[in-house]
Copies of this chain bind each other. A is one copy, B any other.
Amino acid sequence: MQTPTLRDVADAAGVHPATASRALNPATRGLVNAETARRVMKVAEGLGYRPNPIARGLKTSKSGTVGLVIPDLTNPLFPPIVRGIEDVLEPAGYSGLIVNTDNDPQRESAQIELLRSRQVEGLIVATALIDHPLLARLRREGVPMVMVNRRPDGVDLPSITPDDAAGIELAVAHLVALGHTRIGHLAGPLTTSTGVARRRAFRNAVRDRDLDGDPALVVTCEHWTEESGADALRELLDRRPDVTAVVAGNDLIALGCYDVFAERGIACPDRISVVGFNDMPFLDKLAPPLTTISVPHQQIGAEAARMLLDAIAEPDRAARSVLLPLSLVLRGSTAPPAMGA
Contact = CB atoms under 8 A, between A and B. Distances in A.
A29 interface: no
B287 A50 contact: no
Contacts of A63: 54
A117 B50 contact: yes
Contacts of A281: 76
Interface stretch (A91-99, A207-215, A320-328): A91-99
Contacts of A114: 90, 95
A149 to B, nearest CB: 17
A74 B258 CA distance: 25
A315 to B, nearest CB: 15
Contacts of A86: 73, 98-100
Contacts of A116: 50
A127 to B, nearest CB: 15
Nearest to A1: B141
A118 B100 contact: no
A275 to B, nearest CB: 16
A53 B286 contact: no
A17 interface: no
Nearest to A118: B53
A113 interface: yes
B117 A53 contact: yes
Contacts of A52: 58, 117, 119
Contacts of A255: 282, 285
Contacts of A57: 54
A79 interface: yes
Contact of A95 (B54, B80, B97): B97
Looking at A53, A54, A57, A79, the one whose CB has the most chain B CB atoms below 10 A away is A54
Interface string A34-67: 0000000000000000111111011000011000
A13 to B, nearest CB: 20
Contacts of A53: 117-119
A282 B282 CA distance: 8
A169 interface: no
Contacts of A258: 285
A83 interface: yes
Interface of A: 50-55, 57-58, 63-64, 72-74, 76, 78-80, 82-83, 86-87, 90, 95-100, 113-114, 116-119, 255, 258, 280-282, 285-287, 298
19 contacts: A50-B113, A50-B116, A52-B117, A52-B119, A53-B118, A54-B54, A64-B118, A76-B281, A78-B79, A79-B79, A82-B98, A87-B100, A95-B97, A97-B97, A98-B98, A255-B285, A282-B286, A285-B286, A286-B286
